[in-house]
Amino acid sequence: MGGKVNTELAQAAQQLTVSTKVFPLLFLALGSISTLATVWVFAAGDSGYSVGILGKLSVAGALCLLGTFALYLFQLNRTLSHSIAESREQDLRLKKLGKAVTKSGCAIAILDGRGSVEYINQQFEETTGYSMQEIIENGMQILHPKIYVNGHLVPIKRTEWLQDAWANEVQTTRKDGSVSWASVSVSVVDNHELPLASGADPEPSSSGKTQGYVVSAIDISELKNLNHEMQRLALNDELTGLANRRLFVDRLEMQLRVSRREKNSIALLFLDLDKFKRINDTLGHDAGDQLLITVAERLKRCVRANDTVARFGGDEFVVLLTDITDPLSVTHIAQLILASLKQPITLNQHEIIVSTSIGITLAPTDGLEAESLVKNADLALYRAKDQGRDCYHYFTEELNAQAIRQLVLEQELRLALNTNQFSLAFQPQFDFKQGRLISVEALLRWNHPSQGMVFPNDFVTVAEETGLIVPIGNWVLRNACKQIRQLQVVTGRNIKVAVNLSMRQFHDEQLEDNIAQALQYSGLKAKYLELEVTESMLMGDVDMVVARLTRLKSTGVSIAIDDFGSGYSSLSYLRKLPVDVLKVDRAFVRDIPEQLHDMEITAAVIAVAHKLGLKVVAEGVENIDQRDFLMINRCDYAQGFFFSRPLSYTGLNEFMQRNECRQKFELSIYPPEDIAGQSGSESWLSTLPSNTTSH
């Protein structure tokens, strides 16, 4: 705008110059014409005529002269009025500009060509807390301005920012010592931008000499704080304040670059609290949170300030140890962590002790990529857990090979499901009182194209981890119901079938629908289907478990607890659960009669289960002593190699046909009141075949 005003002023000045040059020329021309006319008249010699002409010419000249003068005055007046109007307008504009600067919401400072402050506006004073006088006297450096350079806050050099179009986010310190942030921009004022003196020519921009600087700043402290908070939330774990996975991986990548450059090692420790879920479920989430906070604090105390402790979520923590010179120091820190976390923690007035498992990997020895190192440490952690928890384990190539094998297994399992490679084996369960087969347990088999028969213990864990167990489990459910219903029709006997549920299936919201569909599709009545859940699946929030079991039972099926005794549930906990059958874990039956302790436990479990109105199945009965012990202790049902190995559908059919008459006979020799003290005696059971085509 200033430039336009200057141009207009220059034009007016030029007009005035032109007018003042034209007037004397006109005057001279007219004077010359009248003089020439007079000379010519005198030369002609006719004085009377000449005087007359001369007089007329003189009058004409005088009139012309007057006219021209009047015209000149008119022109001059117009130019002057125009200039006055323009200068008023410019004055007004300048006033407006001045007001805009003084009252601006931006903090504005005007500096002279040497960078000394000449003026700051009201907003500048309010934002910084300094008066104009203080800023003029001390300069901008009193604000301790800093900017980010390569991720670090550094003071701004004076020469750095006093240049045209400089713009940056600047951190300053207010008079009260608080820190603020401003978005600052600088404009240079050249001399050609200043109002021009009358008649002066505007100079080209390049040759303009710096007359001063205008610095304008907008306070962005709030925005910056918000940004900082968002960044904190994005990079830090909200609960513990530790780095989160993103920040950790960033730091890991940075440290990998440093370690490559400086040729030193780093270590990554992956931690998982043992049985954290149980603490969370029993003491509540607030206690769980408190525990995680305490663990975070303890971990920080175990490492140096420049090491990183992060929380990946849940109860997973990761520690990055840098600049390792002695590999033993990593073991030492792992031991320190194990010991530190094992110190008692008070939660909700309960003193608890947590242990942890740690997986360790080293770079560059085990890998050079952040992603693979995290994976390595995770694999090593799994191995530490497998080894009984509360310990650390280093990553090895064997672990890696095992992980690859699992990946292959996962792909093979998917193929197996789509190409019908699964089949079922059925292991009979006998009723001691009736002396007959009353039920079978359906057991999954995988007919691997190259490895032959594969047993569930070799693939169920991977199927569970990958979630494939859900479709595989549904396949088992449908086929078990279908084949047993078929067998019921063929043999005319309404035997039951027990199907194993996996953890994932148990929590699958579709399970009830899948059960209903399997029953409907097969025509099997719900009362002939039993679901086996393991003790470990029932751990946790008792109300939730009861609700889940109640929903399952509403489909009409019965529920058995498999491997009872291997977990941590008490018999009093059991009382609350709507279950029908207890299966005593094979581990207790195995050492009967050698282990007195196991015999006592088994007898106690049977007695209490009966008190709770539950039936008891003993698993893994392999010999006559075990059978007799169980009979004497009034166990209801038995299953094991002593009676029959798992059989194919055809094998089971044959088995049932063969034993029909014998079972009738055996019924009569088993009056419950006669069995006390009969351990080791011969009975109908010893006549059952212990060798049949097994599956």
Ligand X SMILES: Nc1nc2c(ncn2[C@@H]2O[C@@H]3COP(=O)(O)O[C@H]4[C@@H](O)[C@H](n5cnc6c(=O)[nH]c(N)nc65)O[C@@H]4COP(=O)(O)O[C@H]3[C@H]2O)c(=O)[nH]1
Residue ranges in contact with ligand X by CB under 6 A: 427, 443-444, 455-457, 460, 469, 473, 476, 500, 502, 532, 562-563, 619-622, 639-641, 646
Shortest Cβ distance from residue 437 to ligand X (Å)? 14
**Nearest distance from C-beta of residue 632 to ligand X, angstroms:** 19
In the three-class reduction of DSSP (H, G, I as helix; E, B as strand; rest coil), residue 451 is classed as coil
Return the number of the residue (460 or 462) whose C-beta is nearest ligand X. 460
At 295, is the secondary structure helix, strand, or coil?
Answer: helix
Which is nearer to ligand X, 219 or 508 (by Cβ)? Answer: 508
The nearer residue to ligand X, 433 or 645, going by C-beta atoms, is: 645
Query: How far is it, in rounded angstroms, from Cα 560 to Cα 578?
Result: 10
- Rounded least distance, CB 316 to ligand X, Å: 26
Smaller CB distance to ligand X: residue 287 or 545?
A: 545
What's the min distance (Å) between Cβ of 228 and ligand X?
50
CB of 623 to ligand X, least distance (A): 9
> In sequence order, what DSSP letters do the residues of 235-281 get, joined into one string?
HB-TTT--B-HHHHHHHHHHHHHHHHHHT-EEEEEEEEETTHHHHHH
Handedness of CA 88, 93, 94, 100 (dihedral sign): positive
Q: Which of 114, 117, 161, 165 lies closest to 142 in space, CA to CA?
A: 117
Q: Assign residue 152 a region (left: φ > 0; alpha: ψ between -120 and 50; beta: otherwise).
A: beta
Give 500 or 683: the residue with its C-beta nearer to ligand X.
500
Tell me the C-alpha distance between 140 and 644, whole Å: 94
Nearer to ligand X, 120 or 484 (CB): 484
Query: In terms of CB distance, is 296 or 498 closer to ligand X?
Result: 498
Instruction: Show the tokens assigned to 25.
Output: 């020329």
Least distance in angstroms from the C-beta of 531 to ligand X:
11
Smallest distance, ligand X to C-beta of residue 224, A: 55
State the Cα–Cα distance between residues 23 and 20, nearest whole angstrom.
6
Going by their DSSP bridges, the two strands 581-584 and 615-618 should be labelled as parallel
Q: 539 and 569 in contact (C-beta within 8 Å)?
A: yes
Residue nearer to ligand X on the CB measure, 5 or 519: 519
Cβ closest to ligand X, residue 354 vs residue 425: 425
CB of 410 to ligand X, least distance (A): 16
Q: Could you give the CA distance from residue 628 to residue 626 in angstroms, rounded to a whole number? A: 5
> What is the token pair recorded at 243?
């780095």
Q: How far is CA 495 from CA 262, 289, 412, 639, 667, in A?
A: 72, 49, 34, 14, 17
Cβ count within 10 A of residue 332 = 12
Minimal distance in Å, beta carbon 511 to ligand X? 12
Closest approach of Cβ 562 to ligand X, in Å? 5
Q: Which tokens belong to 162?
A: 């006093």
Nearest CA to 563 among 582, 546, 542, 576? 582
For tokens 């008490």, what's the residue? Answer: 570
Q: Nearer to ligand X by C-beta: 345 or 652?
A: 652
Distance CA 323, CA 267 (A): 9
Return the closest-CA partner of residue 281 out of 600, 543, 17.
543
Residue 202 tokens read as 């505007």
Distance of closest approach, residue 589 Cβ to ligand X, in angstroms: 8
User: Does residue 678 sit in helix, strand or coil?
Assistant: coil
Q: Where are the beta strands (DSSP E) in 404-524?
A: 422-431, 436-448, 452-454, 496-500
Taking the complex as a whole, the smallest distance from the CB of residue 451 to ligand X amounts, in Å, to 15
* Closest distance of CB 687 from ligand X, Å: 18
What is the layout of strands, in order, in the sheet containing 308-313? 308-313, 316-324, 265-273, 356-363, 392-394
Query: Quick one: 93 or 590, whose CB is closer to ligand X?
Result: 590
d(CA 491, CA 426): 15
Least Å from the CB of residue 593 to ligand X: 16
227-to-33, 222, 248, 443 alpha-carbon distances in Å: 86, 8, 20, 57
Closest C-alpha among 637, 169, 685, 666 to residue 440 = 637
Tell me how far, at minimum, the Cβ of 537 lies from ligand X, in Å. 10
Is 250 or 625 the residue whose CB approaches ligand X more closely? 625
- State the sign of the Cα–Cα–Cα–Cα dihedral 299, 303, 304, 307: negative
Question: Would you say 111 or 621 has its CB closer to ligand X?
Answer: 621
Distance between CA atoms of 500 and 507, rounded to whole angstroms?
14
- CA 513 vs CA 120, 204, 616: distances in Å: 76, 85, 28
Q: How far is the CB of 686 from ligand X (least distance, A)?
A: 15
H helix runs in 449-510, sequence order = 460-466, 469-491, 503-506
Structure tokens at 562: 């498999």
Minimum CB distance to ligand X smaller for 181 or for 432: 432
Q: Which is nearer to ligand X, 372 or 623 (CB)?
A: 623
Hey, is 560 helix, strand or coil? strand
What is the distance between the alpha carbons of residues 132 and 553, in angstroms, rounded to a whole number?
82
Choice between 299 and 499, CB closer to ligand X: 499
